[in-house]
Chains A and B, each alone.
Chain A
Amino acid sequence: MTQRQVQHPIHLQTQDLACGRGDVALVQDLHLDVAGGAGLLLRGPNGAGKSTLLLTLAGLLHPLAGTVHISGADPDSGPLVHHCGHKNAVRARLSVLQTLRFWCEINGGGGLAPEAALERVGLLRAAQLDANYLSAGQQRRLVLARLLVSPRPVWLLDEPSAALDAAGQSLLIDLLAEHFATGGLAVIATHDEIILPQLSTFTLGGAP
């Protein structure tokens, strides 16, 4: 599916990572090591720092201490990371297809064609609709299509299954399985059950 099939498996490692908002650390001394073909489920109570950790892994937040290192990928092939946050980046007055094409243009193509990606996530019939008219679950599906049009080895997903129906949940699991099969890795913050043999669980902020 991707020409970014890597010889060395991709690796996401953190060393003594501390991250947080402002100067207050939410997560400290974190050592993570996720290899290509596998994923990590982040769990923890609200406010434990799951979203902050994902932002830090994506490079959108500066770590308070320590490092995030992604190895095993070709540095010339552009950004390695997809980050899907709480916000869907969907704007009124742009159609679903226009929105996805725009994402494809700024992120670089190389994956599925936008129409094919819409079909994969079950939104092809809504392609010409104003993206803002989509329901919350449909918007999440549109975000998943973003992962398909621009293949990147690292997916950082923040509550990807929120608002998804049962079919959407199994779609997410299928997409993750395909992603792992092509050597990608994923870190997923969620409260739902996502059951895949490649996924291990890491719990944040269990102490006091």
Chain B
Amino acid sequence: MSTDDIPKMSWWNRLAHPGQFMSWTRPLIWPLAAITAVLMGLGLWFAFFNSPADYQMGDTVRIMYVHVPTAWLSQFVYAAMAVSALGTLVWRHPLADVSMKAAAPLGAAFTAMALFTGSMWGRPTWGTFWEWDGRMTSTLILLFIYLGIIALWRAFDDQLRAARVVAVFTLVGAVNVPIIKFSVDWWSTLHQPASVFRADGPTMPASLLTPLFIMFFAFTLLFATLQLVAMHTEIRRRRLVTLERRAARGETA
């Protein structure tokens, strides 16, 4: 079950074979990075110079252009991890392991960023850095789950074994995240009747929506780029480990 030299038959397996995967995705990285950079620059330009300040919140509304995309990614990355976990459990595919492992720190980073920008935004609007509002709270718990998964990855020496255990936990988490979200919403309305300001209400003018959408795609592409690079790194790292072990055995045997 090493990551290379497994004979594969179908086109899907050929595409998803780690070596093949490396060679057909390598040319994608630079174009993806370029598009990401362009979109990010464009979005930031819109966000800073070409969108109106909110009549209530003033310039602080511009935090939204980072906050909303990262908050979206915090959940999207978990969904990507859950799909990879399914790949690990059902097909025992080494590439699914790699994708799951690469996504975890990225998801944690985006979630932390969403929390950070959220509390930055909270200070001028709510008057406090942290409000036990339903969305913030469930994002915080999601961050704990991400960090737990990363800790679990690091606790195992044998990464093939780790992958299956992490996959089980990731799927259990995927079942639980909606329950957690529901319970936290229930809890926050119980303790403080809906007085919380909602930023993405339905009445958002187009002047705000355009930069938001651009940033949204920019961040999603940023994730795609980083994920690809991280997967390549992980595949190389695994090859290295395998080679090292072989060398060690070759010398001692």
User: Roughly how many angstroms separate A23 CA and B97 CA in the complex, as a whole number?
Assistant: 14
User: B108-116, B121-129, B242-250: which one contacts chain A?
Assistant: B242-250
Are A24 and B249 interface neighbours, CB within 8 A? yes
**Cβ contacts under 8 Å, B160 to chain A:** 22-23
Are B253 and A208 interface neighbours, CB within 8 A? yes
Nearest CB on A from B224, distance (A): 28
Nearest CB on A from B214, distance (A): 44
**Cβ contacts under 8 Å, B161 to chain A:** 22
Dominant secondary structure at the B interface: helix
List the interface of chain A (C-beta within 8 A of B): 21-24, 62, 64, 208
Are B249 and A23 interface neighbours, CB within 8 A? no
- When C-beta atoms are compared, the residue in chain A nearest to B164 turns out to be A62
With A64-B1, A208-B253 known as contacts, the answer to whether A24 contacts B158 (CB < 8 A) is no
Chain A CB within 8 A of B56 CB: no
Chain A CB within 8 A of B195 CB: no
**Cβ contacts under 8 Å, A21 to chain B:** 158
Interface size range on B against A = 10 to 19
Which residues of chain B (226-253) have a CB below 8 Å from chain A?
A: 242, 245-246, 249, 253
Known pairs A21-B158, A62-B1; list 9 more (Cβ under 8 Å): A22-B161, A23-B2, A23-B3, A23-B160, A23-B242, A23-B245, A24-B242, A24-B245, A64-B1
List the interface of chain B (C-beta within 8 A of A): 1-3, 158, 160-161, 242, 245-246, 249, 253
User: Roughly how many angstroms separate A64 CA and B94 CA in the complex, as a whole number?
Assistant: 13
- When C-beta atoms are compared, the residue in chain B nearest to A207 turns out to be B253
- When C-beta atoms are compared, the residue in chain B nearest to A63 turns out to be B1
User: Roughly how many angstroms separate A74 CA and B238 CA in the complex, as a whole number?
Assistant: 42
User: Roughly how many angstroms separate A62 CA and B253 CA in the complex, as a whole number?
Assistant: 23
Q: In the complex, which of the residues A21, A22, A24, A64 has the most CB atoms of chain B within 10 Å of its own CB atom?
A: A22
**Cβ contacts under 8 Å, A24 to chain B:** 242, 245-246, 249
User: Roughly how many angstroms separate A34 CA and B48 CA in the complex, as a whole number?
Assistant: 76
User: Roughly how many angstroms separate A160 CA and B54 CA in the complex, as a whole number?
Assistant: 79
User: Roughly how many angstroms separate A62 CA and B246 CA in the complex, as a whole number?
Assistant: 20
User: Roughly how many angstroms separate A62 CA and B245 CA in the complex, as a whole number?
Assistant: 20
User: Roughly how many angstroms separate A13 CA and B253 CA in the complex, as a whole number?
Assistant: 27
